[in-house]
Structure 1
Amino acid sequence: GFNRSNKLSRYIVIRSQLAGTGILDATNSLSGVLPFGILIVAHPLALIFDPYKTKFYNLIPKLWATASIAPFFDIELEGLENLPPQNAPAVYVSNHQSIIDFYPLLTLGRSFKFIGKNTVFLYPGIGWAMYILGMIPVKRMDIRSHLEAVRRCMDLVRNGASVFFFPEGTRSKDGKLGDFKKGAFTVAAKTGVPVIPMTLIGTGEIMPAGMEHVVNSGSVKLIIHKPIKGNDPEILRQLARNTILDTLSIEAQKKKGLS
């Protein structure tokens, strides 16, 4: 495991990039600052030539996320063959364990737009980057905000972009999978695009929900499952949740067998 100073160093780097405090470690500052600077410069051109942000914006977030997490934990990707073609629209969904979940997801290099809590957009740095990248803010417990987010997602998908949801709506504090909300599956059913379920394993142990002052050693596994298609949001919701739930159970049994 990490010693105390290493924990603190990693905590400063990751938290400063997430919250925009500006306290970036000297050896890793370019991973957060340089890509953000490129986004600022290239944003006007991208709005003209790629208004739905489906091409240029794939590369920079991938490089930024990869550079940001490389010193701290490894990522194992499984099921890459299940990913749709680079610019094929889809609705991606995953379980939600930690504030760092979006880092491994961005390393896939897909153009999905995250649905994020509106308060995160207020953070200097990461919040501004989310805005520029076309991420969609939503207010918790606000029905109008959720309906508007779903409408915007359908507009994006119909224009060739992909969207990403954490259908639990919040991070799991005990690692157990919560109930899935229907928003993501309504978007997929009404637009005819596939749902791509993904299972994240390990992020909740590295930075547990509610314990953002802690960065533990560990590794992350991201499993991409086969696409699911259909026109019934409820069936899509159940299939996606069961896929992720079964995978979490299998991976937990594997881990128990190794210990």
Structure 2
Amino acid sequence: MVEENPRLSGISSVDMLSEQFNVLSMEQVFVTDPRFAERHRRHGLDRWFKIYFESEADELTVAQMYSELPEIEVAERVYQRYHMGEALSLDEILNFNDPLLPQQWHYNNTGQTGGTPGADINLFPAWNFSTGSQDVIVKVVDSGIDLQHPDLIESLWQNPVPGPENGFDGDIHGWNFANNNSNIQDTNDHGTHVSGTIAARSGNGIGVAGVAGGNEAGPGVQIMTARTFANTNGGFPQSFVYGADNGAVISNNSWGGGGAS
């Protein structure tokens, strides 16, 4: 990319096509933390760019024409992704004292909400082996998280070296990849819901229990928040690299809609 002109790549064939489609800008997909720059180059992450254009041409046609250039290895349209989106009691002893745990039929379905008994993930026996470890970081790619939620506040990942040096200024608990800022506060509740299913503190006498939410002795897995659904959607590719660079070993992507890539 030519620094003084963000519309140009410096490759004549690419720039001619960009002129044809009235390209507004070319931006690198992945922001590179200087600590991991060599690793990113080794895997070719510095070669990925997002192209913005205002032509009325069909996006699939544009992607096809770029992909036919010998200098372009792959080009594809960026699809938009959209998320989809009263306490009961059981006559049995539950593992934890979280008041809404009996409502979580997907853990242990006895037909308590009118569903099919046994249609669940059979979680309770698994809790005999593990209720989640703080050594595990789970990245949730969604609409953000309620940073003050009492059932989640102990499960928030804490960045040991937050930006700006790493390219993400103020990324204490994660990053807003949709708006490229540190505001990860959930305004939709879907991300908070998903994070709670994973890591809501179990056995604390409030709310629900997470699959890996720890126990009475302490919290379970840590939740790293990657907000990609905000007033605009985006930043999905960068969110995966950020998670891997910062220790996340699991990525939860609870999305719906769109078509195949």
TM-score by length of 2: 0.24
Which one has a bigger Cα radius of gyration? 2
* Higher relative helix content: 1
Ranked by relative contact order (alpha carbons within 8 Å, sequence separation 6 or more), the top structure is: 1
TM-score by length of 1: 0.25
